[in-house]
Chain A
Amino acid sequence: MIQPTEPVGTRPPLLNMSHVEKTFAGDVVALRDMNLSVQEGDFISLLGPSGCGKSTALRLISNLMHPTAGTIRWVGGQQGADDLGVVFQEPTLMPWATVAQNVWLPFRLQGKTYNAVKDDILEALKLVGLENFQTAYPRELSGGMKMRVSIARAMVTNPRLILMDEPLAALDEITRFKLNNDLLELKSKIGCTVIFVTHSVFESVFLSDRIVVMAARPGRVIRELTVDAPYPRSEEFRTSAEYAAFCRQASDALHEAMELAA
C-alpha cells in the first residue's frame, strides 16, 4: 500500500495555487484570491454551495481556463498531459467505443497503440473490478459501472494528480457508498493525489484528509479543515463518534459559507 507516511501539511509539494483569481466577462467574479498548496498524497475535497467556484478551480488546474490573476504552478513542472487524470460528473464515455477502448483514450492521444498499453488497460480495469467487461459498450453498463470505467480511464496513465468534479453526485446512495469505499481503496493502491469537488459534507469527511470549504458570490476559500482520521477508513468509520465530530465541523463551516453568501 502506498499511503503517504507524513502527516497532512508536511508532504512534498505538488502544485501551488497562489492568489488565483478568475473573472468572467461582465464582472462575474468566479474565484477570488484562492491559495492552495497541494501536496503529494493529499485527498483534498473542495466543499461548498453551487457557484462557489469549485468547478472553476478544477478547470483552472486542468488548464482548460487561465487565471485572470495569480499563478498555478506544478512543483518541478508538469511533465506531460498524462500527469493529470479527470473524472467528470457524468461518466463522459465515448458511446461508440468499448470499455477497453475508452480506457485506452489517454494513451491513444499520445500516439500509443493498443497493444503497447493493453497490460496497463487491463490493470486499470482490474482495479475498478471491470476486467470482464473489456468488450462491452457503455450502454450495456449500469451508472455505477460507467463511472468505474471513467475512473479507470483517469488512472490508467498513472497520473500524479486526479481531479474529480462531483463524480458520484448522479448516482444512487447505495452505489455511492460503495464507490466511496472503492475510491479510498484505489487511492491507497496507486498512491495518487486527488482533488475532489463535492457538495456533500459526509462524502468529503469520509474521503479526504483535507477539506477546503468555499463560499459563493464571489467564489472564495473561507476555511480549511484537516480530517486526521487514519486510513484505511472502513464502514465502521461512518458510524464512529469521530466521524460525526468531523461532520459537525465541516457542516458548521459550510453554514458559515452559506451565510456569507446570503
Chain B
Amino acid sequence: MTIADNAPAAAPLVDEEEQARLRTARIHRIAKWTLPSLVMVLSILACHLYVTIGEVPHYILPGPVLVAQSLVEDWSLLWPAMVITSRLTFLALIMAIIGGVALAVAFTQSKWAEMSFFPYAVILQVTPVIAIAPLLQVYVESAFVAALLCAWIVAFFPILSNTTIGLISADHNLSDLFTIYGATRWQRLRFLAAPSALPFFLGGLKIAGGLALIGAVVAEFVIGRAGTGLGLASTLLEASYRFNFGRLYAALILISAMGIVIFAVMSLISHLALRKWHESAIKREG
C-alpha cells in the first residue's frame, strides 16, 4: 500500500476468509516460539530419561542434570574463559570490519589495487586457517594475538567480498546523475556507493560474526593446547582430556549461546539500519 491510497473508513465487515487468515496468522505467531521451546524441553527430558534409565556412564554422555551442575559449579572457571573467547571474537570481528571495508574501498577506488591484491585476499581465504595457526604460533609471541589473527583471517573475507560487490552495485543512472552534477570522488563514495553497499555489507557482517567465533574456537584448539589457558574452546578441549564431560558440555553450551547472541545482534543491527528503505526489511501487507 502506498501513502497515496486513502484507506477506506474502518470497514466493520470482515469476511470469513479474512477471519481465517487472521486466525492462522495469530496461531503462527504463537507457535513460532512455543514449538521450538517445546522441542527443547522434550529433548532434554528424553536425554535425561535415556541417561538415567539406560545407566549411561557420565564419560559417554552426561545427563542434563550433570551438565547444569557443572555449569554452576565451574562457573568461576567458565566465565573468565568466556570473557576471553568473547574478547577474541569481538576484536577479530572489529578488525575484520575495519580491514574488510578499508580494502573494499581501496579496491573500488583503484582498479590497480584490486588487480594487485585481490588474488592474495582469496589465497588468504582458501588456505585452511587450521593449517596456518601453528605457524602463527611460531612467529607471534603472544598466544592471544596469534589466535586473534586466526579469527581475523576467517572473518574478514565475507566482509571484503560483500562490501566490494556492494560498492560497485549502485544504480547506473544514479551514477550518471552524480557525474552530470559534478560530484567529487568523496561525494560519490559517501552519498552513492556507501549507502548502496550497506545491505551487502550487513549481509557479510552476519556471516563474519559467526565465522569470527568459529575462527576463535579453531585458534584456541590449535594454539591453546600448549597450556596457554585461552578461552572456552581450550577449556572444552582440556575437559575432554580429563574425561570431565559435564564441563565439556557446559563449555559447548556456552559457545553455542555466544553464537546465538552474535547472530541475534547482527540481525538486529541489520534490521535497524535497513528497516526504513530496504526490501529485505519490509513486511508486505496482504
Residues of A within 8 A of B (CB): 62-64, 80-82, 84, 86, 88, 90, 92, 94-97, 105-106, 108-110, 133, 136-142, 145
Contact = CB atoms under 8 A, between A and B. Distances in A.
Contact of A95 (B173, B191, B278): B278
A149 to B, nearest CB: 12
B3 A109 contact: no
Contacts of B178: 109
Nearest to B1: A140
B2 A92 contact: no
A62 B180 contact: yes
Nearest to A153: B177
B231 to A, nearest CB: 39
A90 B173 contact: yes
Nearest to A88: B173
Given A92-B171, A96-B276, A137-B277, 10 more contacts: A63-B180, A64-B176, A88-B173, A92-B173, A94-B192, A106-B181, A137-B276, A139-B277, A139-B279, A145-B2
Nearest to A141: B2
Nearest to A137: B277
B198 interface: yes
B117 to A, nearest CB: 29
A64 B179 contact: yes
Contacts of A138: 277
Contacts of A109: 178, 181-183, 187, 191
B181 A95 contact: no
Given A81-B181, A109-B183, A145-B4, A96 B173 contact: no
B195 A94 contact: yes
Contact of A84 (B3, B4, B180, B195): B180
B35 interface: no
B3 A96 contact: no
Interface of B: 2-4, 171, 173-174, 176-183, 187, 191-192, 195, 198, 276-279, 282
A64 B172 CA distance: 12
29 contacts: A62-B180, A64-B176, A64-B180, A80-B182, A81-B181, A86-B177, A86-B180, A88-B173, A88-B176, A90-B173, A92-B173, A92-B174, A92-B177, A94-B191, A96-B277, A97-B195, A105-B181, A108-B187, A109-B178, A109-B181, A109-B187, A109-B191, A110-B182, A133-B3, A136-B3, A138-B277, A139-B282, A141-B2, A141-B4
Nearest to B182: A81
A209 to B, nearest CB: 25
A133 B181 CA distance: 24
A62 B175 CA distance: 13
A80 B181 CA distance: 9
A80 B277 CA distance: 32
Contacts of A139: 277, 279, 282
Contacts of B177: 86, 88, 92, 105
Give the residue among A80, A90, A105, A106 with the most B Cβ atoms within 10 A: A105
Contacts of B278: 95-96
Contacts of B187: 108-109
Contacts of B183: 109
The 5 closest A-B pairs by CB, nearest first: A81-B182, A92-B173, A96-B195, A109-B181, A88-B173
Contacts of B279: 139
B176 A140 contact: no
Given A96-B195, A96-B198, A140 B3 contact: yes
A3 B126 CA distance: 67
Contacts of B192: 94
Nearest to B179: A64
B272 to A, nearest CB: 13
B3 A81 contact: no
A110 B183 CA distance: 8
A143 B131 CA distance: 55
B158 to A, nearest CB: 22
B5 to A, nearest CB: 8
A81 B176 CA distance: 13
